Amino acid sequence: AVTLLLDHTLSRTSTTSYTSGYRLFSRFVSMYGIDVQSSSFLSPLLLLRFIAFCHSVRGLQSSTIRSYLAAIRFFRLRAGFSDPFLDHHGAVIPQIKLALLDSRRLHFVTPR
pLDDT in tens, 14-47: 888 999 999 999 999 999 888 888 888 889 999 9
- Report the alpha-carbon distance of residue 68 to residue 2 in Å, rounded: 22
Quick one: average pLDDT of 67-88?
92
Tens-place pLDDT, residues 64-75: 999 999 999 999
Neighbours of 44 (CB within 10 A): 15
- Given a cut of 70, whether residue 107 has pLDDT beyond it is no
* pTM beyond 0.75, yes or no: yes
Helix then strand then coil, % of the chain, to nearest 5: 60, 0, 35
Which one, of 23, 22, 34, 41, lies nearest residue 84 by Cα?
41
DSSP E strand boundaries for 1-112:
none
* Adjacent-strand bridge partners of 18: none
